[in-house]
Chain A
Amino acid sequence: MRSKGPIVRIIIFASILILSIIIPAIIQDPYWTDIFIFILIFIILSTSLRLVINTGQATFAHPALAAIGGYCSGALTVILGFSFWEALPIAGLAAALISLIIGYPTLRIKGVYFFLITFTFTSLVGVLVGNFWIPIFGGWKGLINIPRPNPIIIPGLLMIKFTTDLSYYYLVLFLTVMTIWVLYRVEKSRFGWVFRAIENADLLAESVGINLMKYKLLAFVIAGIFAGIAGCLFAHYQKIITPYDFDLNFGILLFIYTVVGGTSTIVGPILGVIFLRILAHPLRQFGIYETMILGFILILFLRFIPGGLIGLLERIVGFLETKLHDPKTGGFI
């Protein structure tokens, strides 16, 4: 069974991919397309957040970095007339640059304080963007009229427009799959081992020559790029971005998705996002109590299911494997 593992995983991944391509096209309901787009954006954010958490540094900077990406891209397209395709990578780079500037002096600080600093940073970025450079960022009302991406035209061959939500969904889907692929490859590589070693026993890692700062910063900056991209995708979807979009509540929500999903594998946060955002619909009927319920879910998971949904699943699969595996024949009963 073990040797069949990777093939099973590829089949599962391919099926999910095919489903995510087909289902929105079949449903064609703007309500659901909206939900799917947000699920994807949150997947980008939570999987990149996981990268940093897995070097042992919990960070609350992600909302700020996403805001930077979104505002950067919004301002470039609205004020300076850049196209989406130019603004997107710049947004990612801007977020990466800020990550570098913030991360360099602070990542050497112990975990809890680092989290506190990033928490403060996220709070302040929102305030800054709301109060300053109002002609550019639009103040508290936000930056409006952010355009959808220009069509991709290959003369004589094809033209892809992104004006409809559904077409935008496919763009976001493509970028999300890219994000997952990059993060997966990073994790499987030596870099991933170094990150895990740092999280596991940083003292030991140092003693064999691993420069902690360098790798923590690397993870932080890579995650920052994706946060910026997510922010940009958000801004061009909503066509508006306000200081309230990436506030503390957003950060708390992101953590809830990541914790509930679990961080042991890259599938964890994906599960968390999908589970909770689909669950959010029956929860919505509780109105104002929805956030309270989510708060309880967070605490309950931290207390009783710290491995998250993916941890639960791994335990179930492990349990099933031992139960169903016939030791004599080596096959399944």
Chain B
Amino acid sequence: MNKSLPTTSSPQIRPIEPKDFAFIRSLAAEFSTFTVPSEYLLWFLTRFHPDYCRVIEDGNGNLKAYLLAMPTSDPPDGIAIWQIAAAAPNHPFALEYFAAHLRELADLANAKSISFTTQKDPASLRLIRSLAKQFFDCAVVERHPVPAGQKECEFWLSIQPIQK
């Protein structure tokens, strides 16, 4: 095993608690395009959307990644991802774990779409497109540029029910 790769022991996914806020804010601050969420905003999101806001921790209770998302009314029955972040070098693993969580969540909530914004970084988009194909059997569709000057675009995927 390559020593530079993470050796996460028994990672768990769970709802976000107030004790996690400092980790989330600290990690968000590492990304230049991220807005650092205030503690009030984190409380609000986790209070009203606990299934959509999660952290991943390893078997020793060390936090590795977080997901902040919410249901949408436009499009109806959708999920919008605000932020996914992972402490390096856990990013690819975190995306896989959160994709699995979003698949389960979409099935439970009968969601029809997932929206998110990101920069057009080829490596990240390649992984996102492959996860979308794998977990949701659909393509990632580019929609509109985000008019906030962060060189981000809105992307969208249409979810199909699992065909057994």
A and B: partners?
no
Interface set of A (CB-CB < 8 Å, partner B): none
